[in-house]
Amino acid sequence: MKIGVFDTGRGGKIVARRLAKIFPWHEFITADDRDNAPYGSKTPAEIRSCVSAAIKPLLSAEVIVVACNTATTIAINHLRMIYPKHEFVGFEPALRPALKSTTTGRVMVLATPATLNSKRYKQIKDRFVGSKKVFEPDCSSWAWNIENNKPQDIDLAPIVKLANDKKVDQIVLGCTHYLALQKPLQKLLPDAKIQEPTVAVAKQINRYLKTLPT
């Protein structure tokens, strides 16, 4: 089976490589929207328009992974409406597993402004946070830096300081681009668990595959 992976930029290829290791017997194709990236500061209407157009090269695939948290939270229901014959699997910040796993009750979410302000993200917070604390530091420039091969320009020191000061033990990577920072973050914060959604997405794909006739 052919599985498509969409992201605004280079993060989709990272996701496709990770998923290909889990599903080596399937073919993966990718598409991006680098001309309009990053999406984090765009309006919901602009994001839906961009995604609807950029997803077209993947329509030969039966399953399409929307490997962008911002696009998922804002546009995936729109995609399901205009492309009803396709199975769309979305990314969303792994806030729920982080809240479930935390022992300190302190979680940090690294995400774009559009994701943090999205209805879906706010619904998850309202339902699952309770008495726990969620910290959302400004990462608005990160996607641009990573997309333009400048991850070294991202200053992780404030993130590390905040995590240590607040006793954060769960860090959620809420943007596909930020997967490029997973290793340096883990090195700087060895006692924190970094949550990213690739495994959860693989489980969703697997559930769909099991519904198909053999």
Calculated CA dihedral for residues 208, 209, 212, 214, nearest 10 degrees:
-160
Calculated CA dihedral for residues 88, 92, 146, 152, nearest 10 degrees:
-150
Q: Judge whether 178 and 146 are in contact, CB under 8 Å.
A: yes
Q: How far apart are CA 12 and CA 64, in angstroms?
A: 11
Q: Judge whether 28 and 58 are in contact, CB under 8 Å.
A: no
List b or e across 13-22, with b for residues whose CB sees 16 or more CB atoms inside 10 angstroms: bbbbebbeee
The catalytically annotated residue of 16, 51, 64, 68 is 68
Q: How far apart are CA 10 and CA 177, in angstroms?
A: 7
Angle at the Cα of 200 (from 198 to 205), degrees rounded to 5?
Answer: 90
The catalytically annotated residue of 5, 175, 180, 185 is 175
**175 noted as active-site residue:** yes
**68 noted as active-site residue:** yes
Of 63, 62, 142, 86, the C-alpha closest to 109 is 142
- What amino acid positions are annotated as catalytic residues? 68, 175
